[in-house]
A and B are shown apart, each in its own frame.
Chain A
């Protein structure tokens, strides 16, 4: 409708309108009288018929309608954004208030059990004291769970501070800190190539590596624990635990991995391990923990626009893979 076909037209002139100026040898312009008044015909090309007033009016009306619709949509979006920000901050406040109000009675139970042990232990037999100690231990566990829940709920909403970070440095720092906890546990870490730089939130990526590396040592009974930390570049050959080989697509993101010779995960549990508070072992085994570590790892990876997955052979070891979105600095960041 807006682009109309060319209509060839002929315009009759009384003479060639482009002719009357002549330029002589000296470059002077001078007008010469027409010698002929014969009809001169021009063919007008590449021009369509002119717009009628009613058509222009319709076009203007359509334009103002479109502008109106766009403005209305933008307005609605802005309202939804405000609503979203409000509900996010409410959720944040809710998590804190809930955790506060749950902790208060819990602390009472903890303190009073401790006082009971302190003041009346001599009236109780060994079994009684041990039951009270269990009570105290359980309140601590409950507190850990509440803290994990609070941490997890905040993780999804805290704004990411994206910077180029040297992942090598991040992993060095994580290992230095974990070694303090490992003490005498023999851990061998193999790093086939230095890790590259990546655009990420340093605190969160630190936590991601910390959770994955500490799991590799925690759920591991071999001496020494053997870890391999590395990555695959797009276009590189990638071999999985089953020995299947494939080439990473050239436009795929880098795949980072942490491989261990640990206890492995049975196949039927593979889809459950990222679920919050899901533990595959009793609370006293493998150093306990709340069961939030991998859920947190998954959340961090997803907030960085990546995915995390695991391969495992029960009794032989596991590999955790993850990717981070490959945005460049200044790109619109994905919010997940």
Chain B
């Protein structure tokens, strides 16, 4: 089994403010694992397909915003889940959209979790703690592929 610290997190989020809030909460939760950020869909797909020099292993988990400029989150999710190689990475959607259609489509594409971004900073802290506890401390991943 891989070392806990070798697990990395990829955040695909276009809003600098939302990322700052997310990052701040992660600092507070004292998560040591490497965190990467892409700010749009195309950048994230480029990163996932050609990441070799940046990151030797696939990210362990992807946090995905749905409304992204250019290739949006729904398309990114679909592409990840259709790729033989990438589809093993758990993807958690983290979005403002509470549209039942979005929720349904994401689960149909095979999303591993759908979380609605809260307005409240306390609630945000709680949710991020849950994400970290679950994906970094509770679940077991397959051996990382390069």
B15 in the interface, Cβ–Cβ < 8 Å?
Answer: yes
- CB pair B121–A111 under 8 Å, yes or no, is yes
Q: Is A106's CB within 8 Å of the partner chain B?
A: yes
B74-111 interface bits toward A, Cβ cutoff 8 Å, 1 = contact, 0 = none: 00000000000000000000001111011000000000
Q: Does A104 contact B (CB under 8 A)?
A: yes
How many A-B residue contacts, CB cutoff 8 Å? 45
Given A96-B97, A96-B99, A104-B96, answer yes or no on A112-B17 (Cβ-Cβ < 8 Å): yes
A106: contacting residue among B101, B119, B124, CB under 8 A: B119
Find A96's partner among B21, B98, B119, B121 (CB 8 Å cutoff): B98
Chain B residues within an 8 Å CB radius of A111: 17-18, 20-21, 121, 124
Tell me whether A107 and B18 are in contact (CB under 8 A): yes
A133 within 8 A of B: no
**How many angstroms between the C-alpha atoms of A96 and B98 in the bound complex?**
8
Q: Tell whether, in the assembled complex, residue A107 and residue B119 are in contact, meaning their CB atoms are under 8 Å apart.
A: yes
Taken together as a complex, chains A and B put the C-alpha atoms of A104 and B13 apart, in Å, by 12
Q: Which residues of A111-134 have CB atoms within 8 Å of chain B's CB atoms?
A: 111-112, 114-115
- Closest Cβ–Cβ distance, residue A98 to chain B (whole Å): 11
Q: Are B18 and A108 in contact (CB under 8 A)?
A: yes
**Could you mark each residue 298-320 of chain A with 1 if its beta carbon is under 8 Å from any beta carbon of chain B, else 0?**
00000000000000000000000
The tally of residues in B whose CB lies under 8 Å from a CB in A reads 18
Within 8 A of A (CB), among B17-36: 17-18, 20-21, 24
Give the secondary structure class of A's interface.
Answer: helix
Would you give the shortest CB distance from B44 to chain A, in whole angstroms?
A: 19
Residue total for A at the interface (Cβ-Cβ under 8 A)? 18
Q: Which residues of B contact A108 (CB under 8 A)?
A: 15, 17-18
Provide the bound-state CA to CA distance between A103 and B98, in Å. Answer: 11
Q: 8 Å CB contacts to B: which residues of A15-60?
A: none
Given the contacts A100-B67, A104-B15, A115-B24, A110 and B97 also touching, CB distance less than 8 Å? no
> Inside 8 A of B120's CB, which chain A residues have their CB?
110, 140
Decide if A103 touches B96 in the complex (CB within 8 Å). Answer: yes
Query: A143's closest neighbor in chain B, by CB?
Result: B119
Q: Say whether B51 faces chain A, with CB atoms less than 8 Å apart.
A: no
| Known A99-B98, A107-B96, A110-B119; 9 more pairs at CB < 8 Å | A96-B99, A100-B96, A107-B17, A107-B119, A108-B15, A110-B121, A111-B21, A112-B17, A139-B119
| 10 examples of A-B residue contacts, CB within 8 angstroms | A96-B97, A103-B96, A107-B17, A107-B18, A108-B15, A108-B18, A110-B120, A111-B124, A112-B17, A115-B121
Residue ranges of B at the interface with A (Cβ–Cβ < 8 Å): 15, 17-18, 20-21, 24, 67, 96-99, 101-102, 117, 119-121, 124
A interface residue numbers (CB < 8 A to B) = 93, 96, 99-100, 103-104, 106-108, 110-112, 114-115, 139-140, 143, 150
